[in-house]
Structure 1
Amino acid sequence: MIKTGRLLLRAAVPEDLEPLHAVFSDPRAMRYWDRPPHQDMDQTQRFLDHFIASDLNNREEYILEVDGVCVGKAGMWRRFEIGYILHPDLWGRGLVTEALSTIIPRVFERFPEADKVTAELDPRNLGSIKVLEKQGFERVGFAEKNFLYGETEWCDTAYYSLTRP
């Protein structure tokens, strides 16, 4: 558990199901995610079960809590890729930037073999690009129409990287 100025970064617990579902069922939050919004609580339950059971030796990932409520997640979800999602009602407040400012140094400290961390995103996600650039990430690649979103829309992918300081 880690406290920042406005956040509590903590492990996921079963009680996060409903607030996580509020994030994962919101079309705004899921627009640039790897799949469309969750249609039912079972989808979110599977995500949460996996999040809780994931090997902590290979990730540095946290639930983001504000004022006692789960509002998203952020961290290194696989070696050495950063990912995050936040309830859209809280966008633009710098919360993900605040979380990553704590998480990324921990990744480099815990994993001395990591010479960089990476992130992938839809290049239309301008807010997420700003978050990464504030952390010092640079765009290192681009692939056109390489990702099928919801079996209906081919999307581009931008690749970002942050070299170990």
Structure 2
Amino acid sequence: MIRTARLLLRRAEARDLEDLHAVFSRREAMRYWSRPPYETLEETRAFLANMITAPAESADDFVIERDGRVIGKAGAWSIPEIGFILHPDHWGQGIGREALTAVIGHLFAAHDMRELVAEADPRNTACLRLLARLGFGETGRAERTMQWGDEWCDSVYLAVPRDVWEDAREKRLRDQSSR
């Protein structure tokens, strides 16, 4: 469990089904996900079951809880690759940055890895801006990597090395202590 100023990041539980379905069934939330919105509760239940039973050596994923409601998820769905999604009602409030900052710090502290990686659709400018603010840099691009409904989508690949993350963390701590 990880606490931030506004959030609780915790392991997924069966009771999170309705809240997660409220995220995964939203077209705008799923626009740059690996598939179109979930149409049924059973689809979300299968996703949630996989999240709950994922082996600790290959996944380190959290639901994001705010004011007692699950509003998304963030973490390494497949170590070292991170992913995140938020309910659109929580976009533009710094929630993604707050959650990912906590999760990335946890992942580097808990796992022996040189870097974390991410993949994003190049049209998902908000995601790319957030990842850049967190120290991720582009490592490559590929065309037609994923099919979303009838549409083929491209990918941008990114990474943040541990030393870059730790240097940025030290700078944030210095900046906070000088205020």
Give the TM-score taking structure 1 as reference length. 0.95
Give the TM-score taking structure 2 as reference length. 0.88
Report Cα offsets for 1:144-165 as digits up to 9, x if no partner.
Answer: 2222112x00111000110111
What is the Cα deviation at residue 74 of structure 1? 0.0
Name the SS of the counterpart of 1:75 in structure 2. Answer: strand
Unmatched segments (≥5 aa) in structure 2:
164-179
- Give me the whole-angstrom Cα distance separating, in 1, the residues matched to 2:117 and 2:3: 24
Contact 2:60 2:79 in 1 (8 A): no
Name the SS of the counterpart of 1:57 in structure 2. Answer: coil
One-letter amino acid of the counterpart of residue 49, structure 1: A
Contact 2:25 2:39 in 1 (8 A): yes
Report Cα offsets for 1:21-49 as digits up to 9, x if no partner.
Answer: 01000000000000000011000000011
Name the SS of the counterpart of 2:107 in structure 1. Answer: helix
2:33 is matched with 33
What is the Cα deviation at residue 55 of structure 1? 1.1
Name the SS of the counterpart of 1:5 in structure 2. Answer: coil
Q: Does 1:81 align with 2:91?
A: no
1:125 is matched with 124
- Give me the whole-angstrom Cα distance separating, in 1, the residues matched to 2:145 and 2:24: 23
Q: How does 1:1-165 map to 2 (within 5 A)?
A: 1-112=1-112, 114-150=113-149, 152-165=150-163
Matched residue count: 163
- Give me the whole-angstrom Cα distance separating, in 2, the residues matched to 1:79 and 1:11: 16
- Give me the whole-angstrom Cα distance separating, in 1, the residues matched to 2:5 and 2:72: 16
- Give me the whole-angstrom Cα distance separating, in 1, the residues matched to 2:21 and 2:119: 23
- Give me the whole-angstrom Cα distance separating, in 2, the residues matched to 1:70 and 1:76: 18
One-letter amino acid of the counterpart of residue 161, structure 2: T
What is the Cα deviation at residue 99 of structure 1? 1.1
What is the Cα deviation at residue 136 of structure 1? 0.3
Q: Which has the larger radius of gyration?
A: 2
**RMSD between aligned alpha carbons?**
0.9
* Structure 1 residue ranges (4+ consecutive) displaced by more than 3 angstroms after TM superposition: none
Contact 1:60 1:103 in 2 (8 A): no
The answer to which structure has the higher helix fraction is: 2
2:176 is matched with none
